[in-house]
Structure 1
C-alpha cells in the first residue's frame, strides 16, 4: 500500500494544494492532526482537502477536538481516536490531541499521560499507528522546553511493534525520524511524505 501522510497543515492553502495533487498517486492518505488553528477553521481546512479521492484516515490534533473534526471531515473519511480501522488488510490505530498538555495553551485539546494510556490500551495490533503527538525520545524536542513526547505511546509501540508510526505536533522536529525496536517513527509536518506498508 502506497501511503501519503502529513500533519500540521494549519489551514495553509498552498500546503493543502500540494497534498491534494500528490494524493492522486496514493492508495491511502493519512492526516495526523492540526488541520485548523486554535480550534477554528477546521471546516475550511477540510474544504481545502476535498480533492483527495483516496481513502482518508485522520486523527484530531490539539488545534481541533474529536467532535470538531468529526463534524467537518469529508464523507467516508475515517476519524480515529483510541480506535482502529482496517483498510485493504492494513490495520491503522489512531490517537489525537496534545499529549501531554503544553504550558500556556488554554485553548488546546489535550490529554494527560494517564488518559493517553487508557486510550492506547485498545491498540492490541496495528500495522500503522497515527498519533498527533510524538513518542518520548523521537522528534519531540521543543526549543526552550526540551523533550515533550509521551511515554504511553513509546510503550505502546514497544508492545505492538507496528511497521510505521506517524506523528506531528512538534514543529521544531518536522521531518525527523527514528526507530523504536523495528518500528519506523516520523514526525511528518505539512509536506508530502511517502511510505510503503
Structure 2
C-alpha cells in the first residue's frame, strides 16, 4: 500500500495544493494534525484538502479539537483520537493533541502524559500509529535543543512496535527519521512523504 503522510499544514495553501496533487498516486493519505492555526480556519483548511480522493485518515493536532476536526473533515474521512480502525487489512491507531501539555495557553488542545497513556492503552496492536506528538527522544528536539516529546507515546511504541509511527508537532524536527525497536518513526511536516506499507 502506497501511503502519503503529512503533518502541520497550518493552512498553507501551496502545501495543501501539493498534497492534493500528490494524493492522486496514493492508496491512503494520513494527516497527523495541526491543519489550522490556534483553533481558527479549520473549515478552510479542510476545503484546501477536499480534492483528495484516496481514503483519508486524520488525527487532531493541538490546533484543533477532535470534535472540531470530525465536524469539518471531508465526507468519508476518518478521524482517529484514542481510537483505531482497520482499512484494507492495515491496522491504524491515532492519538491527537499536544503531549505533554504545551505552553501555548487555553487555545491549545493538550493531554497530560497520564491522559495520553490511558488513551493509548486502548491500542493492543497496530501497523501504523499516528500521534501528533512525537515519542520522547525521537524527532522531538526544538531549536533550543530541548527534547519535548511524549513518554506516553514512546512507551506505547515500545509496547506495540508498529511498523510506522507518523507524527509532527515539533516543527524544528520536521523530516526526522529514526528507529525505536522495529518501528520507523517519521516527524513529517507539510510536504508529501511517501511510505510503502505492507499488510
How does the TM-score come out when normalised to structure 2? 0.97
Aligned to 1:58: 58
CA shift for structure 1 position 105: 2.9
Corresponding pairs, count: 197
In 1, the alpha carbon distance for the partners of 2:171 and 2:122 equals: 28
Matches within 5 A, 1:1-197: 1-144=1-144, 146-197=146-197
CA shift for structure 1 position 75: 1.1
1:39-60, CA deviations, whole angstroms, 9 ceiling, x for partnerless residues? 0111100000000000000100
1:111-166, CA deviations, whole angstroms, 9 ceiling, x for partnerless residues? 00000000100110000000000000001011236111011111111111100000
Aligned-residue CA RMSD in angstroms?
Answer: 0.8
In 2, the alpha carbon distance for the partners of 1:34 and 1:117 equals: 21
CA shift for structure 1 position 192: 0.3
Q: Specify every segment of 5 or more residues in structure 2 that has no aligned partner in the other structure, as ranges.
A: none
In 2, the alpha carbon distance for the partners of 1:41 and 1:177 equals: 30
In 1, the alpha carbon distance for the partners of 2:126 and 2:166 equals: 12
How does the TM-score come out when normalised to structure 1? 0.98
